């Protein structure tokens, strides 16, 4: 147990207290009690900055299930620290924001903070865990708490739909990831990520390497809303805005990115990893930015923007993985730049997207709508909000002097660099990367402009709004203000984060790239000189402005290009298809008719026994040693066969009963012939009682309808019956023909008198050698008689038809 463990457990404990705090305090918003939690964590992690920067990670372990190699191991290196700071820092601001956003008299704030703290603890657990199983546990906990938070307003139909959708998709990915982890365990014999990274060379040639990689990537892509698993994110916007800002822009959706970065040292040497991560990322980037332009709801626009930015970071991580191909050479440092750009943009994105979500929340809170068709002209009434929105959107669009400009430049650099790679077939497809990156940047520019200018400029049409808009309270403005200023500060002084955060994170992602004694050069220059990237940015601004102008008039980019192919429709259709399909299939065989079920059972019996007999070689049919048959026996067998065959043909019920009784008496005769006196005695009595009982039950039954008594002939029944009969005959013959060892009955014969003092061996077996069977058999009879008594006497529904009621 170390303080690092406490970092994870502390939010989880506060989640437990939160609902009680709301009940016990009358006037104070529960959020104020929760505010210190992320603050303390942030302070603690900040305190470790120096240590981690010097390449001295913190590791601590608590044994959990030692026999399975599962221990609760926490590990703080550059990458974990970056995420932990993002989670706790933005968490602090979000809690502050939510205090003003959620009305404590109208909302269940205790529950809200319980979920939020649960999420925070889970997220910290994901980024700090070294053990993969523990990581998976926290991973699913983020899915669950996200599910709870999306459905926070659980009386709305859309909230529940969104929550379910995100749950299904992320848990699907989570399970795939677990599969990947298990495969990694199979290959390496450890669940510790640290040890696996130390043992990479052993697994790269393994046959399970590629399946493990695909499964892990499936988990990362679903969580980080990559194409085509992004569909849950826009529907998750039904959550309260602080949740959207925290989970669905800054933290949870970056869990997939964390996973990709964390396992990069394991998989990055493979070309499949490079191609999958880069291609899925770049596809998500262009698709998300295209769809974002079409949205009219501000939060939906931000959701697609998040998808697209996540795709950007993902593709950068993919491009950066090329460094492992050149591991050890100076050339690899060239590609590390891509990873560096990814990390830097991840920080930037968390900053400006958090601010933008909070701005949208303020607009929603103060005007009552998020629809850009109804908004406009808010600039003069909400100047502070407008300024923050302007900074956030310009940063998102990649304009100087904000931080987004720098990361976009670095992104272009990485995309251009990748064209020069001579391995991994980059010479052919390399050109696609800068082109798509450039077009996606134009789209990004357009929706960023739409976001700001459609909301804040233009004519004032306040009479259509539900509320009279005015500036938000200071507490609500403070968190986005902090984030907005950070966007400017990181833009002007990027090296603030470059040396402290990005360098240690790079060292964690690319442990094998550095030669001993080498240092990553993570300095970010604001001005590179007149490079290609600058011209690309100028091109983005020019083309974007022109298109934005045209876009407002002719809806140039609103063509129904993708409306025909809707992934949501595929998802909805798939879900209802699964529902209907499984119902149809179940209805198909679960008919409710006992005859059908018996047919399945008998068919299974016939087929399985027949196949086994055909396959197993030890079965033979050997008629030698069979006893001869005398005339009496022939007569009895004949009588038995005839009476049995006659049963189905019996016209009356009476006849059938008597024929069955006859068969029973023939069996008694067999017992006599085959020297079983006790059996004969018992069988005769039992048969007599049975027949009597049968007649009692059914002959004297009142009001019995005179039905057609003959059995209707059915061919399938006959075929199955014949099959079972033949199988049983074969079983009987095979059992007779092969005897693998001597019977133990010699013992009974020899010792019956010596040990038990009885001469009737069967009786001695029943009450002495195997008396236990007999006792339980008596119990069975007892239960049956009690059951019968209860059946006859008990009449709970007071049915007057009962004839035997006293």
Partner 1 sequence: MELYMSLAIGVLFTVGVYLVLSKSLLRIILGTSLLTHGVHLLLLTMSRLKTGAAPLLGQKADAYVDPLPQALILTSIVISFGVTSFFFVLAYKAYQNLGTDNMEQLKGDDDE
Q: What is the footprint of partner 1 within residues 682-701 (CB under 8 A)?
A: 682-683, 686, 689-690, 693-694, 697-698, 701
How buried is residue 741: exposed, middle or buried, by Cβ count under 10 Å (0-12/13-18/19+)?
exposed
User: What's the half-sphere exposure (Cβ side, CA atoms, 13 Å) at 264?
Assistant: 34
The reply on whether position 777 binds partner 1 by CB under 8 A is yes
The reply on whether position 784 binds partner 1 by CB under 8 A is yes
The reply on whether position 717 binds partner 1 by CB under 8 A is yes
Q: Which of 626, 699, 738, 755 binds partner 1 (CB under 8 A)?
A: 626
Q: Which of 435, 714, 738, 755 binds partner 1 (CB under 8 A)?
A: 714
Q: Nearest approach, Cβ of 782 to partner 1 (angstroms)? A: 9
User: Can you give 292-351 as a three-state secondary structure string?
Assistant: HHHCCEHHHHHHHHHHHHHHHHHHHHHHHCHHHHCCCCCHHHHHHHHHHHHHHHHHHHHH
The reply on whether position 586 binds partner 1 by CB under 8 A is no
The reply on whether position 423 binds partner 1 by CB under 8 A is no
| Residue 147 CA: distances (Å) to CA of 140, 169, 462, 569, 590 | 10, 11, 35, 21, 34
* 3-state SS class at 60: strand
Helix axes 78-101, 36-47, angle to 10 degrees: 160
349 close to 309: Cβ distance less than 8 angstroms: yes
| Residue 162 CA: distances (Å) to CA of 118, 252, 539, 548 | 20, 16, 38, 31
Q: Which of 435, 561, 728, 755 binds partner 1 (CB under 8 A)?
A: 728
Whose Cβ is closer to partner 1: residue 567's or residue 599's? 599
Report which of 355, 354, 381 is spatially closest to residue 367, judged by C-alpha positions: 381
Q: Nearest approach, Cβ of 614 to partner 1 (angstroms)? A: 18
661 close to 691: Cβ distance less than 8 angstroms: yes
Q: Nearest approach, Cβ of 719 to partner 1 (angstroms)? A: 10
How buried is residue 462: exposed, middle or buried, by Cβ count under 10 Å (0-12/13-18/19+)?
middle
Residue 663: φ, ψ to 5°:
-55, -40
Contact stretch for partner 1 (CB under 8 A) within 72-80, 193-201, 521-529, 751-759: 751-759
The span from the CA of 738 to the CA of 619, in Å, is 7
Q: How many residues bind partner 1 (CB under 8 A)?
A: 100
The reply on whether position 554 binds partner 1 by CB under 8 A is no
Q: Nearest approach, Cβ of 795 to partner 1 (angstroms)? A: 9
The reply on whether position 637 binds partner 1 by CB under 8 A is yes
How buried is residue 782: exposed, middle or buried, by Cβ count under 10 Å (0-12/13-18/19+)?
exposed
Report which of 36, 34, 74, 47 is spatially closest to residue 58, judged by C-alpha positions: 74
Report which of 481, 491, 487 is spatially closest to residue 384, judged by C-alpha positions: 481
Q: Nearest approach, Cβ of 739 to partner 1 (angstroms)? A: 8
Contact stretch for partner 1 (CB under 8 A) within 17-25, 153-161, 195-203, 629-637: 629-637
Q: Which of 550, 726, 738, 755 binds partner 1 (CB under 8 A)?
A: 726
The reply on whether position 760 binds partner 1 by CB under 8 A is yes
- For residue 129, the 8-state DSSP code is B
Structure tokens at 372: 């850009």
The reply on whether position 740 binds partner 1 by CB under 8 A is no
Contact stretch for partner 1 (CB under 8 A) within 99-107, 212-220, 269-277, 740-748: 740-748
73 close to 60: Cβ distance less than 8 angstroms: yes
The reply on whether position 633 binds partner 1 by CB under 8 A is yes
Q: Which of 766, 796, 798, 806 binds partner 1 (CB under 8 A)?
A: 766
Whose Cβ is closer to partner 1: residue 428's or residue 627's? 627
The reply on whether position 623 binds partner 1 by CB under 8 A is yes
- For residue 713, the 8-state DSSP code is P
Whose Cβ is closer to partner 1: residue 23's or residue 620's? 620
Whose Cβ is closer to partner 1: residue 1's or residue 590's? 590
Query: What is the full DSSP assignment across 217-286?
Result: HHHHHHHTT-TTGGGHHHHGGGS-HHHHHIIIIISGGGHHHHHHHHTHHHHTTSHHHHHHHHHHHHHHHH
Q: Which of 39, 492, 543, 676 binds partner 1 (CB under 8 A)?
A: 676
Q: Considering only residues 103-122, where is the footprint of partner 1 by CB under 8 A? A: none
Whose Cβ is closer to partner 1: residue 554's or residue 780's? 780
Q: Which of 560, 675, 740, 796 binds partner 1 (CB under 8 A)?
A: 675
> For the CA atoms of 147, 151, 152, 155, what is the dihedral angle to 10 degrees?
-160
The reply on whether position 735 binds partner 1 by CB under 8 A is yes
Whose Cβ is closer to partner 1: residue 24's or residue 721's? 721
Q: Which of 3, 65, 704, 755 binds partner 1 (CB under 8 A)?
A: 704
Q: Nearest approach, Cβ of 650 to partner 1 (angstroms)? A: 9
Contact stretch for partner 1 (CB under 8 A) within 208-216, 219-227, 316-324, 586-594: 586-594
Q: What is the largest CA-CA distance in the chain?
A: 117
Whose Cβ is closer to partner 1: residue 496's or residue 783's? 783
Structure tokens at 644: 């049995």
Cis before 66 (ω within 30): no
Q: Which of 743, 796, 798, 806 binds partner 1 (CB under 8 A)?
A: 743
The reply on whether position 428 binds partner 1 by CB under 8 A is no
Q: Which of 589, 614, 679, 738 binds partner 1 (CB under 8 A)?
A: 679
Q: Which of 759, 796, 798, 806 binds partner 1 (CB under 8 A)?
A: 759
Q: Which of 13, 435, 749, 755 binds partner 1 (CB under 8 A)?
A: 749
| Residue 242 CA: distances (Å) to CA of 62, 426, 474, 476, 658 | 34, 42, 16, 11, 81
Whose Cβ is closer to partner 1: residue 47's or residue 677's? 677
Q: Which of 293, 657, 662, 669 binds partner 1 (CB under 8 A)?
A: 657
Contact stretch for partner 1 (CB under 8 A) within 129-137, 150-158, 245-253, 780-788: 780-788
Whose Cβ is closer to partner 1: residue 16's or residue 634's? 634
Q: Nearest approach, Cβ of 19 to partner 1 (angstroms)? A: 38
Q: What is the CA radius of gyration of the chain?
A: 38
Whose Cβ is closer to partner 1: residue 388's or residue 669's? 669
The reply on whether position 671 binds partner 1 by CB under 8 A is yes
Report which of 382, 404, 408 is spatially closest to residue 393, judged by C-alpha positions: 404
The reply on whether position 773 binds partner 1 by CB under 8 A is yes
The reply on whether position 647 binds partner 1 by CB under 8 A is yes
Q: Find where tokens 């669940």 sit.
A: 191
The span from the CA of 45 to the CA of 430, in Å, is 40
* 3-state SS class at 451: helix
Whose Cβ is closer to partner 1: residue 108's or residue 691's? 691
| Residue 148 CA: distances (Å) to CA of 93, 97, 219 | 21, 19, 20
Contact stretch for partner 1 (CB under 8 A) within 53-61, 289-297, 329-337, 588-596: 588-596
């Amino acid at each position: 147990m170390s303080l690092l463990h406490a970092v994870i457990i502390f939010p989880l404990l506060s989640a437990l207290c939160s609902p009680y705090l709301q009940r016990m305090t009358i006037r104070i918003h529960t959020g104020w009690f929760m505010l210190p939690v992320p603050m303390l964590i942030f302070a603690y992690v900040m305190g470790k900055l120096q240590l981690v920067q010097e390449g001295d990670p913190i590791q601590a372990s608590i044994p959990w299930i030692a026999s399975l190699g599962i221990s609760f191991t926490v590990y703080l290196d550059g990458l974990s620290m970056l995420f932990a700071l993002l989670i706790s820092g933005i968490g602090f601001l979000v809690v502050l924001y939510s205090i003003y956003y959620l009305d404590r008299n109208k909302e269940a704030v205790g529950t809200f903070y319980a979920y939020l703290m649960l999420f925070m603890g889970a997220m910290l657990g994901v980024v700090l865990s070294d053990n993969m199983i523990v990581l998976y546990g926290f991973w699913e906990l983020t899915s669950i708490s996200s599910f709870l938070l999306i459905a926070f307003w659980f009386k709305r139909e859309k909230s529940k739909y969104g929550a379910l959708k995100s749950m299904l998709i992320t848990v699907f990915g989570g399970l795939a990831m677990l599969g990947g982890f298990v495969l990694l365990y199979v290959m390496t014999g450890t669940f510790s990520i640290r040890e696996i990274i130390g043992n990479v060379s052993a697994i790269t040639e393994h046959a399970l390497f590629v399946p493990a990689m695909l499964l892990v990537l499936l988990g990362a892509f679903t969580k980080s809303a990559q194409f085509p698993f992004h569909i849950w994110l826009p529907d998750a916007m039904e959550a309260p805005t602080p949740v959207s800002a925290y989970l669905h822009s800054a933290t949870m959706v970056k869990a997939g990115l964390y996973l990709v970065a964390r396992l990069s040292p394991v998989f990055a040497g493979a070309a499949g990893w490079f191609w999958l991560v880069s291609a899925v990322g770049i596809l998500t980037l262009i698709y998300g930015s295209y769809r974002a332009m079409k949205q009219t709801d501000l939060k939906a626009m931000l959701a697609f923007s998040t998808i697209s930015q996540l795709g950007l970071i993902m593709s950068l991580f993919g491009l950066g993985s090329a460094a492992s191909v050149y591991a050890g050479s100076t050339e690899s440092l060239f590609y590390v730049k891509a990873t560096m750009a990814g990390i830097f943009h991840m920080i930037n994105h968390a900053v400006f997207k958090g601010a933008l979500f909070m701005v949208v929340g303020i607009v929603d809170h103060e005007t009552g709508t998020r629809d850009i068709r109804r908004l406009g002209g808010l600039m003069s009434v909400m100047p502070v909000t407008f300024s923050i929105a302007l900074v956030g959107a310009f940063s998102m669009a990649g304009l100087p002097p904000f931080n987004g400009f720098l990361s976009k430049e670095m992104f272009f650099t990485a995309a251009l660099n990748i064209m020069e790679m001579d391995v991994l077939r980059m010479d052919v497809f390399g050109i696609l990367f800068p082109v798509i990156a450039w077009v996606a940047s134009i789209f990004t520019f357009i929706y960023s402009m739409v976001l700001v200018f459609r909301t804040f400029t233009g004519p004032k049409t306040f009479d259509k709004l539900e509320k009279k808009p005015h500036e938000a309270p200071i507490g609500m403005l403070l968190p986005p203000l902090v984030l907005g200023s950070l966007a400017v500060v990181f833009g002007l002084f990027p090296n603030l984060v470059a040396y402290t955060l990005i360098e240690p994170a790079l060292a964690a992602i690319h442990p094998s790239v550095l030669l001993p004694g080498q240092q990553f050069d993570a300095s970010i220059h604001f001005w590179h000189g007149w490079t290609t990237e600058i011209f690309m940015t100028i091109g983005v601004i020019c083309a974007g402005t022109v298109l934005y102008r045209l876009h407002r008039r002719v809806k140039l980019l609103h063509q129904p290009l993708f409306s025909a192919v809707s992934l949501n429709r595929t998802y909805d259709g798939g879900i209802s298809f699964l529902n209907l399909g499984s119902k149809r299939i179940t209805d198909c065989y679960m008919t409710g008719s006992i005859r059908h079920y018996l047919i399945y059972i008998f068919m299974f019996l016939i087929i399985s026994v027949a196949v086994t007999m055909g396959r197993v070689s030890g079965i033979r049919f050997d008629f030698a040693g069979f006893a001869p048959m005398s005339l009496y026996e022939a007569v009895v067998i004949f009588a038995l066969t005839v009476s049995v065959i006659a049963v189905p043909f019996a016209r009356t019920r009476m006849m059938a009963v008597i024929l069955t009784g006859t068969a029973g008496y023939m069996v008694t005769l067999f017992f006599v012939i085959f020297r079983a006196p006790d059996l004969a005695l018992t069988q005769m009595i039992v048969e007599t009682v049975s027949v009597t009982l049968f007649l009692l039950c059914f002959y004297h039954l009142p009001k019995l309808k005179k039905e057609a008594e003959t059995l209707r002939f059915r061919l399938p029944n006959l075929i199955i019956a014949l099959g079972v009969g033949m199988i049983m005959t074969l079983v009987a013959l095979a059992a007779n023909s092969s005897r693998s060892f001597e019977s133990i009955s010699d013992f009974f014969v020899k010792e019956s008198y010596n040990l038990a003092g009885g001469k009737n061996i069967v009786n001695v077996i029943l009450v002495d050698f195997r008396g236990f069977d007999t006792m339980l058999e008596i119990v069975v009879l007892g239960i049956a008689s009690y059951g019968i008594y209860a059946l006859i006497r008990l009449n709970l529904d007071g049915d007057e038809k009962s004839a035997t009621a006293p």
